[in-house]
């Protein structure tokens, strides 16, 4: 049986309002009454319903974060940064994993709305504009993380992925590679499309260089392994001499396929570049060259943008874009 505030009031011989004052404004109640109410709480084992209190207060002390793939260390690093910044503001972060599924993503947005979170950060897979506008109409700001919000009217914090793609391809071209394979997908993800566009632009500037797309169904190790096995199966004259993977998980899968399924050497026969610079990138059998994103800073900045809009709802949306950094390791001869 759930113990209610009314049960506490009856046992202590006071009104429900007095119990509420003892819980929320004890300075307004005499010490004797406070002691009586606390004794009744203790005896009955009453636990206050924080969600109900927070609901009455308007917003809870939590933020919502929806990521594309909680199995990707990039997003757990982003969440870590968001949590650290939220804690500085006395807030907690509720994490939802859309797993690249638009329906799950929508369900999390609705759940965070019911929980009256203080704000929502999201790395969207579907068209979430309408749901986020409904949230905003109820005083709950939303921020895009990991990709620009474009003309949606929301703020965003991300990395310049076109610049990141260019960095990766320029590095491979400087290493003398001329037949680059871009491994990544699905292409309706802005992150993937932008990285490919940046690499294409770099390749277009070098005579005799080419870039071929090997589209994957996901940004995962399994998808990378599948792409790597397709590369291994190519006749030597068609085989790329370099691979730019849209993220490190794909690069890990490509590397595993090359090492396990062929005698191809990395980087001698095939140079390899990933993206994100997750912690594992430096620990792979051939340490991975990768385009580093400031993952934790993206998370921190997402919270800053939410807090700013929470305090000033009229503030204009802001698109914050960090510059990527190339970390050179053995997989390209570093
Ligand atoms: O989830 C897709 C990718 O986009 C991640 O690996 C990271 O690169 C993000 O920007």
The pLDDT tens digits for 192-248 are 999 999 999 999 999 999 999 999 999 999 999 999 999 999 999 999 999 999 999
Q: What is the pLDDT of residues 127-179, one digit of tens each?
A: 899 999 999 988 899 999 999 988 788 999 999 999 999 999 999 999 999 99
CB of 74 closer than 6 A to ligand 1?
Answer: yes
- The answer for 258, left when phi > 0, alpha when psi is -120 to 50, beta otherwise, is alpha
CA 330 to ligand 1 centroid distance, Å: 22
Tally of CB atoms within 10 A around 184 = 28
CA 48 to ligand 1 centroid distance, Å: 40
- For the CA of 248, the closest atom of ligand 1 is 6
**Do residues 241 and 234 make contact, with C-beta atoms less than 8 angstroms apart?**
no
Q: What is the pLDDT of residues 285-325, one digit of tens each?
A: 999 999 999 999 999 999 999 999 988 888 899 999 999 99
What are 103's two structure tokens?
A: 């329906």
Instruction: Please tell me the residue having the least CA distance from ligand 1 atom 1.
Output: 68
CA 46 to ligand 1 centroid distance, Å: 45
- Where do we find the tokens 């068609």? 238
pLDDT at 117: 95
**Do residues 120 and 99 make contact, with C-beta atoms less than 8 angstroms apart?**
no
User: Cα dihedral angle (73, 130, 158, 247), rounded to 10 degrees?
Assistant: 40
Q: Average pLDDT over the chain, rounded to whole?
A: 93
**Do residues 134 and 106 make contact, with C-beta atoms less than 8 angstroms apart?**
no
Q: What is the pLDDT of residues 60-95, one digit of tens each?
A: 899 999 999 999 999 999 999 999 999 999 999 999
CB of 98 closer than 6 A to ligand 1?
Answer: no
**Residue 49 pLDDT exceeds 90:** no
CB of 156 closer than 6 A to ligand 1?
Answer: no
CB of 247 closer than 6 A to ligand 1?
Answer: yes
Nearest of 17, 1, 10, 16 to residue 40 by alpha carbon: 10
Whole-number Cα distances in Å, 189 to 102, 127, 194, 269, 276: 12, 12, 9, 30, 15
**Do residues 275 and 258 make contact, with C-beta atoms less than 8 angstroms apart?**
no
- For the CA of 72, the closest atom of ligand 1 is 6
- The answer for 84, left when phi > 0, alpha when psi is -120 to 50, beta otherwise, is alpha
Instruction: Please tell me the residue having the least CA distance from ligand 1 atom 2.
Output: 219
CA 213 to ligand 1 centroid distance, Å: 18
Instruction: Please tell me the residue having the least CA distance from ligand 1 atom 4.
Output: 191
- For the CA of 146, the closest atom of ligand 1 is 10
**Strand pairing category for 242-245 and 271-276:** parallel
**Do residues 292 and 323 make contact, with C-beta atoms less than 8 angstroms apart?**
no
CA 146 to ligand 1 centroid distance, Å: 7
CB of 191 closer than 6 A to ligand 1?
Answer: yes
CA 165 to ligand 1 centroid distance, Å: 13
CB of 219 closer than 6 A to ligand 1?
Answer: yes
Q: Could you give the domains of the chain?
A: 5-48 (1.10.260), 60-160+295-323 (3.40.50.2300), 161-293+327-332 (3.40.50.2300)
Angle at 75 between CA 73 and CA 79, to 5 degrees: 115
Query: Does the predicted TM-score (pTM) go above 0.85?
Result: no
């Amino acid at each position: 049986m759930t113990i209610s505030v009314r049960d506490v009031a009856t046992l202590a011989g006071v009104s429900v309002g007095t119990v509420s004052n003892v819980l929320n404004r004890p300075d307004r109640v005499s010490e004797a009454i406070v002691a009586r109410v606390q004794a009744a709480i203790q005896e009955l084992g009453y636990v206050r319903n924080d969600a109900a209190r927070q609901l009455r207060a308007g917003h809870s002390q939590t933020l919502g974060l929806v990521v594309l793939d909680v199995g990707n260390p990039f997003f757990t690093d982003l969440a870590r940064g968001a949590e650290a910044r939220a804690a500085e503001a006395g807030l907690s972060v509720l994490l939802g994993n859309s797993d690249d599924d638009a329906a799950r993503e929508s369900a999390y947005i609705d759940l965070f709305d019911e929980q009256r979170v203080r704000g929502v950060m999201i790395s969207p897979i579907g068209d979430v504009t309408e749901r986020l506008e409904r949230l905003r109409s109820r005083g709950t700001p939303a921020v895009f993380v990991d990709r620009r919000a474009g003309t949606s009217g929301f703020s965003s914090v991300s990395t310049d992925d076109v610049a990141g793609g260019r960095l990766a391809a320029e590095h491979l071209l400087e290493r003398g590679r001329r037949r680059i394979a871009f491994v990544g997908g699905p292409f309706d993800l802005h992150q993937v499309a932008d990285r490919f566009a940046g690499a294409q632009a770099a390749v277009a500037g070098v005579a005799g260089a080419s870039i071929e797309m090997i589209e994957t169904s996901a940004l995962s190790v399994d998808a990378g392994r599948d792409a790597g096995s397709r590369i291994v199966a190519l006749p030597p004259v068609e085989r790329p001499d370099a691979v730019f993977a849209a993220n490190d998980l794909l690069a890990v899968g490509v590397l595993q396929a090359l090492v396990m399924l062929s005698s191809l050497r990395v980087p001698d026969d095939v140079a390899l570049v990933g993206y994100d610079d997750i912690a594992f990138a430096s620990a792979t059998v051939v340490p991975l060259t990768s385009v580093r994103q400031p993952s934790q800073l993206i998370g921190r900045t997402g919270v800053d943008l939410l807090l700013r809009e929470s305090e000033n709802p009229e503030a204009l949306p802001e698109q914050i874009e960090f510059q990527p950094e190339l970390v050179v390791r053995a997989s390209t001869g570093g």
